C-alpha cells in the first residue's frame, strides 16, 4: 500500500508539473490574444480552466500511479505508461501550439490526435486496472469539449 501511494504521489506530481509548465505557454496569450478572439457562446469563463485542469491532472496522476503500482516489469504496464506519457506530451504540445504559437488550426489537428491517444491510453489502462481507466474518462470528456471549443474558435476566427 505504501509503495502504491508513493507511485501515485510521484505520478500526480509529474502530471501537475507538466500542467504547470504548459501554463507558461498559455498565460501570456490568455491575457491578450485569447481575449480578442471570437468565441462560441458555450465558452466557459477563463477562471474555470485552472481548477478543471488541476483536477484532471490529479485524476490522471492517480490513474498512472495505480497502473505503475502493478509492476513496471510487466509488458502491459510498460505499454500503458508509455502511451500515457506520450499523450501527456501531446497534451502539453497543444497548449504550446494554441496559445504560444497562436495557431488554432494546427492545435485542432493536435487535439484530434490527443483524443485518439487518450482512448488508446484508456484501453491500455483498462487492461492493467479498470479503476485507472475509469479515472481517465473525465479527462476524455473534457478534451472532447475542448476539441469542440478549439474547432469553433478556429471557425469563428
If you count them, how many residues does the chain have? Answer: 157
What mean pLDDT value characterizes the chain? 95
pLDDT for 86: 97
pLDDT for 57: 98
pTM beyond cutoff 0.75: yes
- What is the DSSP code string of 2-54? HHHHHHHHHHHHHHHHHHHHHHHHHHHHHTTHHHHS---TTPPPGGGHHHHHH
Q: Please measure the distance between the N-terminal and C-terminal CA atoms of the chain and give it in whole angstroms.
A: 51
Residues of the chain short of pLDDT 50, as ranges, are none
pLDDT tens profile 100-136: 999 999 999 999 999 999 999 999 999 999 999 999 9
How many other β-carbons are positioned within 10 Å of the β-carbon of residue 139?
Answer: 21
pLDDT for 59: 98
Q: For residues 61 and 34, what is the distance between their CA atoms, to the nearest angstrom?
A: 28
Which residue shows C-alpha cell 491578450? 32
pLDDT for 156: 98
Amino acid at each position: 500500500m505504501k509503495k502504491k501511494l508513493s507511485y501515485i504521489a510521484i505520478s500526480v506530481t509529474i502530471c501537475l508539473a507538466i500542467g504547470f509548465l504548459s501554463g507558461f505557454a498559455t498565460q501570456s496569450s490568455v491575457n491578450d490574444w485569447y481575449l480578442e478572439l471570437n468565441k462560441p457562446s458555450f465558452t466557459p469563463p477563463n477562471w474555470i480552466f485552472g481548477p478543471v485542469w488541476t483536477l484532471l491532472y490529479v485524476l490522471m496522476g492517480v490513474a498512472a500511479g495505480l497502473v505503475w503500482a502493478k509492476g513496471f516489469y510487466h509488458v502491459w504496464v510498460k505499454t500503458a505508461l508509455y502511451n500515457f506519457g506520450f499523450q501527456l506530451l501531446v497534451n502539453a504540445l497543444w497548449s504550446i501550439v494554441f496559445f504560444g504559437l497562436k495557431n488554432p488550426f494546427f492545435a485542432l489537428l493536435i487535439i484530434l490526435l490527443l483524443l485518439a491517444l487518450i482512448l488508446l491510453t484508456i484501453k491500455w489502462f483498462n487492461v492493467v486496472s479498470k479503476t485507472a481507466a475509469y479515472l481517465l474518462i473525465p479527462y476524455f470528456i473534457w478534451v472532447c469539449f475542448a476539441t469542440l471549443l478549439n474547432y469553433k474558435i478556429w471557425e469563428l476566427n
